[in-house]
Amino acid sequence: MFSHGIMPPMMFGTMILFMLIGFPVAFSLGAVGLFFGVIGIYTGHFDPVFLQALPFRFHGIISNDLLLSIPFFTFMGAILERCGLAEDLLEGTGQLFGKIPGGLAYAVILVGAVLGAITGTVAASVIAMGVISLPIMMRYGYDMRLATGVIAASGTITQLIPPSLVLIVLADQLGRSVGDMYLGAIGPSILQVVIFLLFIVAISLFQPHKMPPIPESAREPMSWKLVSRVLWGMIPSIVLIFLVLGTIGLGLATPTEAGAMGAVGAILLAAMHRRLTWPLVEQAMTSTMRLTAMVVFILIGSTCFSLVFQGMDGARWIEHMLTGLPGGVVGFLIFVNIFVFFLAFFLDFFEIAFIIIPLLAPVASKLGIDLVWFGVLLCVNMQTSFMHPPFGFALFYLRGIAPPEVKSSDIYWGAMPWVLMQVILVIIVIYWPGAVTYWIDTSKVDTTNVKIEIPQIEMPKLDLGIPNFK
């Protein structure tokens, strides 16, 4: 562990200690990086000239066009979240499935998937779904653990479904295209929704009393009016999402351009539903500004930390430690997933992406692991940690908006089956990489027979004549 010196583990441990104390992550990373930078100069690990790379790295962060897509997608999600679209979707879908046991649970999962693609953040999805659906489930006699579990699980789908902000950040840190990350996440996100729906089917068959249908007195009669209302709420949003993702996948637009198009489309959708107001736009801009500022500051702090960490031979220390694990690639994947799983209890996905991923990516690449598959796998893992009691952020969000009669124990115990299902998805992705790579174009051009021919251009003769010096 100390074959490359004591400085790398000391630096990493100091960073973890600062975060556990509760010091802001961005400033923790910057402070630790600068402190050990001074130590590194005095101990002779590197020259002071080495730190002159910091301004160039900061300029690279600010001028990175890919990161500009984050505020665009955040603004898009904030507009659609606040314009009442979720309420319309859940109400209409709940009425469609209302006459069967577990109808509201089906609606929560399906609407959660659509809302996850719209909002892009776990907090927004869990809070929106909890505020809307939890009182209705309590009113109609749903088992409390089942109700809270399905709401929290539907919110964490957000992490994986494109256009997720997590996938954008992972693409930037892994050096892969956002389009490939989106395509790779399609298979696992579909599998996740299917696993959740199959669980509801099993409960409705064997324990239907836990999820009774909506009473007939509260149901609307099945009619074209009801169907059209659901379609009016769902189709424009789905069209916008597929338009954004399609332009990225086909190479017609960069993620930044697609994000800008999505932001404009969100404004138009809010206007179509006659809910576009200045307070709504102002709230969306405020939340976008806060999230973007947080991301930039964390990225600046992590850049300072990573530069000094590399100067301390930290990258070689990490590589030596992880490549020497028993089991080869499988052992590495098991260790990394367990490590990220527990780390996600305390850190947000932005912090993990900017701090941990740059340390793990070179090792994964050296072991021959496809980095798109690796990134999607970590994304699935991180969303599992959002659900794990007692530290899961999704459970904290749900506890904050749940009525007082909902016990915390019900929220925690209700989350356990869904955590198990997400762990099953992690195992599936590990042992079936095709779930990620199937949608990605892996065709390679055979360059062995490629010939580069440069045409010979015959230059015209220059006849300048005899110089005249008169």
**Residue pLDDT, tens place only, 396-405:** 778 777 777 8
Q: d(Cα 266, Cα 258) in Å, to the nearest integer?
A: 12
Evaluate if residue 282 carries a pLDDT over 50: yes
pLDDT of residue 462: 52
- 21-25, 260-264, 266-270, 296-300: the lowest-pLDDT one: 21-25
Tokens of residue 357, six digits: 């991923």
Evaluate if residue 447 carries a pLDDT over 60: no
Residues 6+ apart with CB under 8 A from 261: 243, 244, 247, 253
Average pLDDT over residues 293-305: 83
Tokens of residue 322, six digits: 């992880």
Average pLDDT over residues 140-168: 82
At 460, is the pLDDT very low, low, confident or very high (cuts 50, 70, 90)?
low
Phi then psi for 422, rounded to 5 degrees? -70, -35
- How distant is the alpha carbon of residue 131 from its chain centre? 23
pLDDT of residue 1: 44
CB neighbour class for 413 (10 Å; exposed up to 12, middle 13-18, buried from 19): middle
Evaluate if residue 134 carries a pLDDT over 70: yes
One-letter amino acid for residue 465 of the chain: G
Residue 50 per-residue DSSP state: G
Q: d(Cα 303, Cα 355) in Å, to the nearest integer?
A: 9
Q: Going along 305-350, which residue ranges are E strands? A: none
Q: d(Cα 137, Cα 224) in Å, to the nearest integer?
A: 25
Other beta carbons less than 10 A from residue 93's beta carbon: 22
Tokens of residue 300, six digits: 């600046």
Give CA angle at 123 (422, 144), nearest 5°: 65
Evaluate if residue 264 carries a pLDDT over 80: yes
Residues 6+ apart with CB under 8 A from 320: 3, 4
- On whether the CB atoms of residues 192 and 160 are closer than 8 A, the answer is yes
Total residues found in the chain within this entry: 470
Other beta carbons less than 10 A from residue 36's beta carbon: 25
Closest CA to 286 of 79, 123, 128, 69: 79
Angle between helices 393-401 and 144-156 (to 10 degrees): 120
- How distant is the alpha carbon of residue 417 from its chain centre? 22
- 43-47, 116-120, 159-163, 181-185: the lowest-pLDDT one: 116-120
CB neighbour class for 66 (10 Å; exposed up to 12, middle 13-18, buried from 19): middle
Phi then psi for 439, rounded to 5 degrees? -85, -10
Q: d(Cα 258, Cα 101) in Å, to the nearest integer?
A: 40
Q: Classify residue 441 as left (phi > 0), alpha (psi -120 to 50) or beta.
A: beta
Average pLDDT over residues 8-32: 80
At 463, is the pLDDT very low, low, confident or very high (cuts 50, 70, 90)?
low
Closest CA to 391 of 372, 378, 408: 408
pLDDT of residue 445: 47
One-letter amino acid for residue 241 of the chain: I
Q: d(Cα 71, Cα 400) in Å, to the nearest integer?
A: 26
Closest CA to 154 of 386, 407, 436, 378: 386
Q: d(Cα 365, Cα 7) in Å, to the nearest integer?
A: 25
At 24, is the pLDDT very low, low, confident or very high (cuts 50, 70, 90)?
confident
What does pLDDT average to over the chain? 78
Rounded to 5, what percent of the chain is helix, strand, coil? 75, 0, 25
- 105-119, 394-408, 427-441, 452-466: the lowest-pLDDT one: 452-466
Average pLDDT over residues 87-103: 71
